Amino acid sequence: MNETSQFFTRDLSWLSFNHRVLQEAKDKSVPLYERIKFLAIYSSNLDEFFRVRVASLRSFKQLKKNTRRELGVKPKKELREIRKIVGEQQTEFGRIFREEILPELESHQIFLIDDQQFDKHQQAFAKQFFLDNLSDHIEVHTLDEGANSAPFLKNKALYFVVQTAEDNNILLINIPSEKSARFVELPGTDGHYLTFIDDIIRFNLSEIIKKPIKAAYAVKISRDAEIYIDDEYSGDLLEKLKKGLDDRNVGLPTRFLYDSTMPDDLLAQLKTWFDLTKYDLIPGAGHHNFNDFFGFPDPTNNQQLHNVPMPPLPHPELENATSLLEKIDEKDILLHFPYQRYDYIPQLIREAADDPDVKSVKITLYRVASRSAVVEALLYALEKGKSVMAFIEAKARFDEESNLYWGGELEKAGGRIYYSYPGIKVHTKLLLITRKEADKKKYYAYLGTGNFNEKTARLYCDHALLTSKQKMGAEVNQVFDILERKLIVPKCKHLMIAPFHLGEGFMKMIDQEIANARAGKDAYMILKMNSLEDPDIIQKLYEASQAGVRIRMIVRGICCLIPGVKGQSENIEITSIVDRFLEHARVYIFGNDGKEKIYTASADWMSRNLHRRIEVAIPIYDEDLHQELRHIINLQLADNTKARVINATQSNHYVSTPNGAKPYRSQMDIYAFLKKKVMGVML
């Protein structure tokens, strides 16, 4: 919280979100292997946080003091707070792992052991495994006090800093986790024994360097992703940053994780050799890169240690349809991922490819799966002679390689491919099929809150509208005209498009609720998003609260608004749901004096979404779909199992449930609701 107590600090709010992820790892009602997965998610999230956000704060530190004061930033203070909070969370992380996860694994006869615990059979196995799988990939560097003696430490790579016993030399040895699975099953007769490849290498260190070993300490470095600074900041702020950072070195260290048992004098030497600062040094345990626990093996194949399967459901109207285009022509369709099947999307593109009256297919691709059924369907459409246009966002953080690969494949096949705009991201998720019917163009549109990515569609909660309403399709076509440089400013009556009028449209609807409240009418908003950061929107929400508008919010991640403050936000309640699926959908509901409006959107209420990205908010006009989506949101508002309260202290306590009250777990309840709809139609 900053000094004015109007906003939570963005980065500290994000750390509060990651604490909610850690809570899932602590929750004993979560199956064991899912708890392990949440530890991996926490670790992966934290690594990205250091690479992007901490890197940005370090950039601020390099600016002159007057410039920092002018910008209103205090990077040193915030970095200290980050270190404190992360330190506390890492302590809890280690306690959960050591005192809860490992003992529970052992209760199921699964033992994660280190090299000191190998028996003679496991020692023999470790030697042979090392020779067969790891020895060819080991690199040894001697560190000394000479200039430029230290090698470049690769981002997220793992190393041992080794001290020899006789001559006290210091060596750096890589752990080639990219060449092998991180975990290896060892022989054992009374259970299942697993170990890190780190410990197999540690066991073989004397053989590697041909000298007795005094000690070995695991280290890992995270380097900044400063190429993304354009996405984090804009305008005058961005220009001042760039002007003050003429000598920027891409890939500067942002976090140096080291084994906390490392002696201080050795750590001081490493700090000098690798040009680290005190802010980079983060103590950890003997193993790093816990995101590798995504692949932690289950040698027992015990289904009780995993989530109960929730296979994607068929959509009651699409499942047995002979033509998806005809079904969409009959009425609007709303899909809910991951609860319902994603197969319909590539199926729709393939149907369009086989339809002789379809003339073109246009799509925006933000995060493309490594094996993309959607892109394969687009390639098929090109084979069938259709005009295919794809806008590919080459700046989608950490997905650039996959996006560029598929862009190249589509281009080689004859597709018209457009890439990122300078200074702006294209984040909207649109598909437009143009068909010739009775000598006229007929549009079929897909407007979604999530990416065209069948992998994430199994994990991310999103909504997608399929419509043949021509006014809507014509406005989707305007968005593509913008992407193809045919149009500068869209003129829309239905869609709200950023950066043109999305923010203004939301502001007008909030103002209408304020006017209704002041006129004594019932006024409310229900707002669901991933992140809330834009200061103008937050100030407008404070104004609405003070006018008496009732505001319920579901915010998964960053939330800079402080709810429940008397005279400022006492009419605002916020919860955050973290469960087995990632809440990713954006849904905005406005009371509108009894004529409720619902929009889904690709955009959060962050400055970058409203002003520096192309985003689309989609009105839900169909009354049946309105009621369906409203019921889903009601289920989420009722969640008293996985919902946490966001309050002024960011304590993340769970929604309180009176004794005897019925438990509601929204993700399970939504699945049951949609399953019941399927059964009602298909029986």
Same domain, 334 and 473: yes
Alpha carbons 162 and 216: distance in angstroms, whole number: 4
3-state secondary structure of 609: helix
DSSP state of 293: G
Specify the residue for token string 């392990």: 36
Confirm whether 316 is domain-assigned: no
Domain-ending residue, one of 491, 513, 541:
491
434 and 504 housed in the same domain = no
Dihedral, 193, 199, 201, 206 alpha carbons, nearest 10: -110
Instruction: Please give the sequence-ordered ranges of beta strands (E in DSSP) within 565-606, or none if there are none.
Output: 572-577, 582-583, 586-590, 597-601
User: Taking a C-beta distance cutoff of 8 angstroms, is the pair 293, 202 a contact?
Assistant: no
Q: CATH number for the domain including 444?
A: 3.30.870.10
DSSP three-state, residue 206: helix
Domain boundary among 466, 491, 516: 491
Kindly state whether residues 108 and 185 are assigned to the same domain: yes
Angle between helices 373-383 and 400-412 (to 10 degrees): 10
Residue 310 lies in a domain: no
Residue 193's domain is classified under what CATH number? 3.30.1840.10
What is the distance between the alpha carbons of residues 544 and 562, in angstroms, rounded to a whole number? 14
Q: Is residue 410 part of a domain?
A: yes
Domain count along the chain: 3
CA distances from 159 to 272, 289, 589 (A): 17, 11, 51
CB-based contact 324:348 (threshold 8 Å): yes
Tokens 């984090």 correspond to: 232
Q: Of 491, 506, 527, which residue constitutes the final position of a domain?
A: 491
The number of C-alpha atoms within 13 Å of 12 and in the hemisphere containing its C-beta is 22
Quick one: 512 and 448 in the same domain? no
Of 670, 665, 640, residue with least CA distance to 654: 640
Domain annotation covers residue 35: yes
Q: Which of 19, 287, 288, 427 is catalytic?
A: 427
Q: Do 94 and 19 share a structural domain?
A: yes
Q: Could you write out the three-class secondary structure of 153-186?
A: CCCCCEEEEEEECCCCCEEEEEECCCCCCCEEEE
**Is residue 365 domain-resident?**
yes
Q: Which residues of the chain have pLDDT under 70?
A: 1-4, 61-73, 145-149, 225-251, 395-402, 681-683
Note the residue count of the chain: 683
- In what helix (H) or strand (E) does residue 75 lie, and over which residues does it extend? helix 75-95
Q: Is residue 311 domain-resident?
A: no
d(C-alpha 366, C-alpha 411), whole Å: 16
Give catalytic status of residue 427 as yes or no.
Answer: yes
Answer yes or no: do 286 and 333 share one domain: no
Domain-located, residue 306: no
Residues 6 or more apart from 548 whose CB is under 8 A from it? Answer: 517, 518, 523, 571
Which residue type sits at 217?
Answer: Y
**Does residue 567 share a domain with residue 464?**
no
Same domain, 477 and 507: no
458 and 525 within one domain: no
Task: Flag whether 366 is in a domain.
Answer: yes
Residues whose CB is less than 8 angstroms from the CB of residue 563 and which lie 6 or more positions away in sequence, other chains included: 553, 569, 572, 573, 574, 646, 647, 648
Q: Tell whether 278 and 158 lie within a shared domain.
A: yes
Domain extent at residue 188: 10-297
At residue 146, the pLDDT reads 55
In a 3-state reduction of DSSP, which class is residue 590? strand
Q: Looking at the structure, do residues 525 and 554 belong to the same domain, yes or no?
A: yes
Whether residue 452 is found in the same domain as residue 518: no
